[in-house]
Chain A
Amino acid sequence: MGNKQTVFTHEQLEEYQDCTFFTRKEIMRLFYRYQDLAPQLVPLDYTTCPEVKVPYELISSMPELKDNPFRQRIAQVFSQDGDGHMTLENFLDMFSVMSEMAPRDLKAYYAFKIYDFNNDDYICAWDLEQTVTRLTRGELSAEEVTLVCEKVLDEADSDHDGRLSLEDFQNMILRAPDFLSTFHIRI
Chain B
Amino acid sequence: MSRQLKSLEEEGDKLARRPSRKQTSTAECPQDKHQAQSSQKEPTKCSSRPGSSRKRQMGHGSHHKGLQEQKTCKVERPSQRLKKDRRTSLKEQRTPPKKEKVVLRKETGKQARKPRSTSLASSVSTGESLSEEELAQILEQVEEKKKLITTMRSKPWPMAEKLRELREAQAFVEKYEGALGKGKGKHLYAYRMLMAKKWIKFKRDFDNFKTQCIPWEMKIKDIESHFGSSVASYFIFLRWMYGVNLVLFGLIFGLVIIPEVLMGMPYGSIPRKTVPRAEEEKAMDFSVLWDFEGYIKYSALFYGYYNNQRTIGWLRYRLPMAYFMVGVSVFGYSLMIVIRSMASNSQGSTGEGESDNFTFSFKMFTSWDYLIGNSETADNKYVSITTSFKESIVDEQESNKEENIHLTRFLRVLANFLILCCLCGSGYLIYFVVKRSQEFSKMQNVSWYERNEVEIVMSLLGMFCPPLFETIAALENYHPRTGLKWQLGRIFALFLGNLYTFLLALMDDVHLKLSNEEKIKNITHWTLFNYYNSSGGNESVPRPPPHPADVPRGSCWETAVGIEFMRLTVSDMLVTYLTILVGDFLRACFVRFMNHCWCWDLEAGFPSYAEFDISGNVLGLIFNQGMIWMGSFYAPGLVGINVLRLLTSMYFQCWAVMSSNVPHERVFKASRSNNFYMGLLLLVLFLSLLPVAYTVMSLPPSFDCGPFSGKNRMYDVLHETIENDFPKFLGKIFAFLANPGLIIPAILLMFLAIYYLNSVSKSLSRANAQLRKKIQALREVEKNHKSIKGRAIITNSEDTVKNSSKNATQLQLTKEEPTSYSPGQIQTLDKKVQGPGSSSTNGRTSQPTNPHLVGSQPPRVTPDSGQPQSQTYSGRSASGKSIKRPHN
**Which residues of A does B touch, CB under 8 Å?**
15, 17-21, 23-26, 63-70, 78, 80, 82, 89-90, 92-93, 96-98, 102-106, 109-111, 115, 119-122, 128, 131-132, 135-137, 139-140, 144, 147-148, 151-152, 155-156, 158-159, 161, 165-167, 169-187
Which residues on A sit within 8 Å (CB–CB) of B389? 132, 135-136, 140, 144, 148
Interface centre among B208, B370, B780, B857 (most CB of A within 10 A): B370
A43 and B50 CA atoms in complex are apart in Å by: 56
Interface centre among A106, A166, A177 (most CB of B within 10 A): A177
Judged by a CB distance under 8 angstroms, whether B198 is at the interface is no
Which residues on B sit within 8 Å (CB–CB) of A171? 853
26 A-B pairs, CB-CB below 8 angstroms? Answer: A18-B152, A63-B225, A66-B375, A69-B382, A103-B855, A105-B854, A115-B365, A120-B839, A135-B368, A136-B386, A137-B386, A147-B393, A151-B396, A152-B361, A152-B364, A158-B776, A158-B780, A170-B855, A171-B853, A174-B350, A176-B362, A176-B365, A177-B362, A178-B362, A182-B229, A182-B371
B344-362 Cβ-contact flags toward A at 8 Å (1 or 0): 0000111110110111111
B148, chain A: closest CB distance, angstroms:
10
Q: With A19-B162, A93-B159, A175-B351 in contact, is A128–B669 under 8 Å at CB? A: no
Q: With A25-B212, A139-B386, A165-B850 in contact, is A110–B156 under 8 Å at CB? A: yes
Judged by a CB distance under 8 angstroms, whether B128 is at the interface is no
A97, chain B: closest CB distance, angstroms:
8
**Which residues of B does A touch, CB under 8 Å?**
149, 152-156, 158-160, 162-163, 166-167, 204, 207-208, 211-212, 221, 224-225, 229, 348-352, 354-355, 357-362, 364-375, 377-378, 382, 385-386, 389-390, 393, 396, 669-672, 776, 779-780, 783-784, 787, 837-840, 843, 847, 849-850, 853-857, 859
Which residues on A sit within 8 Å (CB–CB) of B365? 111, 115, 131, 169, 172-173, 176, 179
Q: Which of A63, A165, A166, A181 contacts B229 (CB 8 A)?
A: A181
Apart from A135-B382, A176-B361, A184-B370, 16 more pairs, CB < 8 Å: A15-B163, A17-B204, A18-B149, A89-B160, A139-B386, A158-B783, A159-B783, A165-B847, A166-B850, A171-B853, A172-B365, A179-B366, A181-B229, A181-B671, A182-B369, A186-B225
Which residues on A sit within 8 Å (CB–CB) of B225? 63-64, 186
Q: Which of B158, B349, B367 contacts A89 (CB 8 A)?
A: B158
Which residues on B sit within 8 Å (CB–CB) of A15? 163, 166-167
Which residues on A sit within 8 Å (CB–CB) of B838? 119-121
A137 and B389 CA atoms in complex are apart in Å by: 12
A144 and B387 CA atoms in complex are apart in Å by: 12
Which residues on A sit within 8 Å (CB–CB) of B160? 80, 89
A135 near B385 (CB under 8 angstroms)? Answer: yes
B352 near A177 (CB under 8 angstroms)? Answer: yes
Q: Which of A20, A68, A159 contacts B370 (CB 8 A)?
A: A68
B390 near A140 (CB under 8 angstroms)? Answer: yes
Which residues on A sit within 8 Å (CB–CB) of B368? 68-70, 135, 182
Which residues on B sit within 8 Å (CB–CB) of A144? 389-390, 393
Q: With A121-B840, A182-B229, A185-B371 in contact, is A158–B208 under 8 Å at CB? A: no
Q: With A15-B163, A151-B360 in contact, is A67–B372 under 8 Å at CB? A: yes
Which residues on B sit within 8 Å (CB–CB) of A136? 382, 385-386, 389
Q: With A119-B838, A159-B783, A173-B365 in contact, is A185–B370 under 8 Å at CB? A: yes
A148 near B364 (CB under 8 angstroms)? Answer: yes
A111 and B365 CA atoms in complex are apart in Å by: 8
A18 and B385 CA atoms in complex are apart in Å by: 38
Nearest chain-A residue to B155 (Cβ)? Answer: A106
B153 near A96 (CB under 8 angstroms)? Answer: yes
B853 near A119 (CB under 8 angstroms)? Answer: no
B386 near A140 (CB under 8 angstroms)? Answer: yes
B358 near A23 (CB under 8 angstroms)? Answer: no
A133, chain B: closest CB distance, angstroms:
11
A180 near B212 (CB under 8 angstroms)? Answer: no
Nearest chain-A residue to B376 (Cβ)? Answer: A67
A8, chain B: closest CB distance, angstroms:
12
